[in-house]
Structure 1
Amino acid sequence: MSKIQNKTNDILDLLMKNEIHNLYTIIINQYSYETEILGQIVTAAREGMIHPSLMTPQELASTLKAIEQSIKKIYSIPMGTKRYEINEFQKITKIRIYYSNDRLVFDIVIPLIIDTELTLYRLTPVPMRHNQDNSSGWYMMDITYNNIAVTKGYKKFTTYTDQQLNECKETSIYKICNTPQPIQDNNERQPCEVQNFYKADTYANPELCTVKKINLKRSIYQKLKRKNTWIHAGKETLTVSCANLIDSFIIQTNDAGVIAINDISCRVYARDAVLTATEEIQITKYKDFTPVTNMNNILEKIPEHIHKFETDEKWEKGLAMQFTDLHDASKSLDEVQQMINQELSREQNQKHQFVHSNLLYVTIILAVISIILIIAIYIMIKCKYIRSTEVMEFPGRIVRYRAPNRNDYIRNYEETPFTPPPSLR
């Protein structure tokens, strides 16, 4: 019996050791699992996400609903009250994590919004070609704002800078932005480009529209976002080639417009560009607004001498120009008028300089001729004076000639001996 008892105790000890080992293994595995989960929680928090082990999407949605009921009615939580919005909700939240009193504390910042839906537009002024009699020119509207957000009826708007848009929180549905500028009414006192949204066919106050002149030396193409459509301006010869067409065809463009490629197998070849269509996979569509403006009433008021004047902007070769870059390459009508005045002043100065130079040359020539004439007259007078002096002195010499004295003759005669000729001897 003693041996059986000892064997039983040994078996119990072995079973106890096995259970202790299994329990130890379970504790180690649980510790390893919880440590790994804790690391995942911290990593997820750093990425701005809430780990499902802390709060499931259903729990988070119900919690957000309860929070939304407790805040003021004018504010609301933008998203997250529905389970399928959790992924988008994490894009707009900011999660901070810190350790306090042996606990990990999560600080979740959720933006509250006033439910005002605005449509954001990036303004792109397109040059317009205006012909008048024998002159033509390219003109574009000068804009005050680059980004405008308008309501559905285009009756209210606000503006944003590029830096302010970068601070917005973007989801696949919409952007959540602050409103640094107040939401204003679109009325007749607003800039011209704002009135285009509300009164595209007419301008209540055309004087608010500032037109700028540009010397468009080459064509410009700008692709619309996620569309096989390009805004084009300039005089160009386009060659269209498609895979299902045997021969390509040519299109001439002389103005501004839109080039859309509906078949992705087609390409459009220009002088300095090739337009290639791509297949868009994303479902998101961007709305474009092209106001049908009547700028003829404004352009026809421009004087003819401004139409004929060409600005001297230099376009760098190889530089990919966009329509948004034309602001720096264009001149306002006042600047063009000032350039014309400077050119007229320069031409007038050149004429004055030419006249003054000619007068100087004529004066020098007349002075030289006068000097030559004076010298010639002096020589002639001198020669005449010399001849007159010789004629007057010759009679003077004759008058002063002393006649021989008779006594001299007698004396000379007496001194000469007389010799008779041989015949008288």
Structure 2
Amino acid sequence: MTPTSLEQVFREEHGLLLATLVRRYGDLDFAEEVTSEAIEAALKHWPTEGVPTKPGAWLLTTARRRAVDRLRRDQAYAAKLAVLQVEQDRADPAASSDATGSQFPDERLHLFFTCAHPALDADDRVAITLRCLAQLTTTEVARAFVISPATAGQRISRAKRKIREARIPFRAPDPDELPQRLPGVLQVVYSIFTEGYAASSGSDLVRRDLAEEAIRLGRVLRALLPTHRETSGLLALMLLTHARHAARVGVDGDLRLLADQDRALWDHEMIAEGNALVVESLTGGAQGPYGVHAAIAALHDEADTPEETDWPQIVALYGVLEALSPSPIVSLGRSVAIAMRDGPEAGLSLLASMADDPMLRGYHPYFVARGDLLRRMGRSAEAAQDFRTAAGLAGSDPERDYYRRRAADAEADAERS
């Protein structure tokens, strides 16, 4: 078996193996250690002996043997894990029963909800999800968010410590808790995706590896919760957005906004898959914000040219989104859509009404939108100032360079007029 196919097996089995061991022993560090030892054993034996028919069962058996060996060598640690297991069983009696009869038979779901528990800080939730479910090393987590490995390690350690000290059970919520807890899990996965699709800092605009890791996690979540339509909505949104990634950066490395992209470079198979998921996410009940966001993305992807974009429908969907999940960011999107439907004056009036919002004052897309509308109205000097402000607020180097050029172009227009 090639190294690539071995890696694929490990990617598929790692999360389930880790989650199973966490539920068995109640200690994340211990579970990670024996999971790593089992995979190391597989790397030693499988290339010569062949991959077992059931690789997951082989890894689990090996990991359990390594766990027993460790506990025999360290009786004090064994006693500690026994206490943790008793507490885990008290918090979640179903954990000690046969998982195949539970509502959530895949152990990974329990780990998803543990890593995204609301008791953890937001940054820590993302870091530990990347570490445990996306299998990134601490160094890779640090690189993903342009922080030092020490800071990434602190976030992961802090999350583990909080889980341990707060006795957060490794379990999925009860069905009546799920509506309140699921949005937090989806938000963690979407945060990983957005950092990959539009890096918040650094020299790269797109971190394709990170965005695709988030999509993989989204696929796992949808497989685990197939009846919860917002998992389909999130996956649809990520697919429909990521389908454009090849056109977001030109051959010269420059940023390409949606209207300037070569749509022939878009991944139309991915768009088709996303469109099907949009229908699934919006069918059979109340709409959710990820499904509506995905529907907006689908309308952009369906247009052969920017001029063919169905702006009236996008405005209507933003209205639905404002009712479901009101925020200044959603209102900004609706204002831009109205400007595309009704003209720049209508959009600029709406943007002016939001100028004092504290969230938007530090949000560079607001100034980009206002600069675009001002320039369309012939107010190029004002537009240049907004583009300069956007460049100062943008995180990645390609974005900053792009908005500086936009500012220079607007200043040149102002001088000519």
Q: Same fold (TM over 0.5)?
A: no
**What interval of TM-score do these two structures reach, taking the shorter chain for normalisation?**
under 0.3
How high is the TM-score relative to the length of structure 2?
A: 0.21
